[in-house]
Structure 1
Amino acid sequence: MTDPPRIAAVGSYNHDMSVTVPSLPVPGETASGEDFQEHAGGKGSNQAIAAARSGGDVAFVGAVGDDRFGEYARELWAEEGIDAAVSSVETATGVALIHVEESGENAIAVASGANDDLDAETVQSAGVIDGCDVLLTQLETPISAVTEAVSCGAATGAEVVVDPAPYRDLPDVFLQDVSILTPNESEVRLLAGHEPDADIDEETAARAVLDRGPDAVVVTLGADGALVVTDDDATAVDPIPVDVVDTTGAGDAFNAAFAVARGNGLSHLAATERGIAAGALACTERGVVPSLPERSAIDELLKRERSA
Structure 2
Amino acid sequence: MTGDEPDAVIAVVGSYNHDMSVTVPDLPVPGETVMGEGFVQNAGGKGSNQAIAAARDDGEVAFIGAVGDDRFGESARELWAEEDIDDSGVLSVDAPTGAALIHIEESGENAIAVAPGANHELDGASVREKRAAIEGADVLVTQLETPIESVQAAATVGEAAGTEVVLDPAPAQELPDELVAAVDVATPNESEVRVLAGHAPDADIEEEEAARTVLDRGPEAVVVTLGADGALVVTDDQTVAVPPIETEVVDTTGAGDAFNGAFAVARGDGTDLIAAAERGVAAGAAACAERGAVPSLPSRSTIDSYLDD
TM class by smaller structure: over 0.9
Specify which of 209, 214, 222 is matched with residue 217 of structure 1. Answer: 222
The structural deviation recorded for 1:19 is: 3.1
Point out the more displaced range, 83-92 or 190-199.
190-199
Which structure 1 residue ranges, 5 or more long, are not aligned?
none
Specify which of 226, 232, 236 is matched with residue 241 of structure 2. Answer: 236
- What is the number of residues matched between the two proteins? 303
Describe the shift of the 1:104–1:252 C-alpha distance in structure 2 as closer, same or farther (beyond 3 A).
Answer: farther
1:54 and 2:57 matched: yes
Give the share of equivalent positions with the same residue, in percent. Answer: 68
Q: Which residue of 2 aligns with 1:5?
A: 8
Distance in 1 of aligned mates of 2:128 and 2:108: 38
Distance in 2 of aligned mates of 1:287 and 1:49: 13
Contact in 2 for aligned 1:246/1:283 (Cα 8 Å): yes
Distance in 1 of aligned mates of 2:163 and 2:256: 22
Specify which of 239, 242, 251 is matched with residue 246 of structure 1. Answer: 251
Contact in 2 for aligned 1:104/1:247 (Cα 8 Å): no
The structural deviation recorded for 1:158 is: 0.5
Distance in 1 of aligned mates of 2:99 and 2:69: 14
Cα offsets for 1:144-167 (capped at 9, x unmatched): 111000000010001100000011
Contact in 2 for aligned 1:106/1:247 (Cα 8 Å): no
The structural deviation recorded for 1:171 is: 1.7
Counterpart residue type for residue 66 of structure 1: D
Question: TM-score, with normalisation over the residues of structure 2?
Answer: 0.93
Q: Which residue of 1 aligns with 2:98?
A: 94
Contact in 2 for aligned 1:104/1:246 (Cα 8 Å): no
Counterpart residue type for residue 204 of structure 2: D
Distance in 2 of aligned mates of 1:105 and 1:247: 14
Counterpart residue type for residue 241 of structure 1: E
Contact in 1 for aligned 2:181/2:219 (Cα 8 Å): yes
The structural deviation recorded for 1:226 is: 0.8
CA RMSD of aligned residues (A): 1.8
Specify which of 169, 177, 184 is matched with residue 182 of structure 2. Answer: 177
Question: TM-score, with normalisation over the residues of structure 1?
Answer: 0.93
Describe the shift of the 1:99–1:228 C-alpha distance in structure 2 as closer, same or farther (beyond 3 A).
Answer: farther
Q: Which residue of 2 aligns with 1:79?
A: 82
Contact in 1 for aligned 2:51/2:261 (Cα 8 Å): yes
Distance in 2 of aligned mates of 1:281 and 1:288: 11
Contact in 2 for aligned 1:123/1:149 (Cα 8 Å): yes
Counterpart residue type for residue 279 of structure 2: R
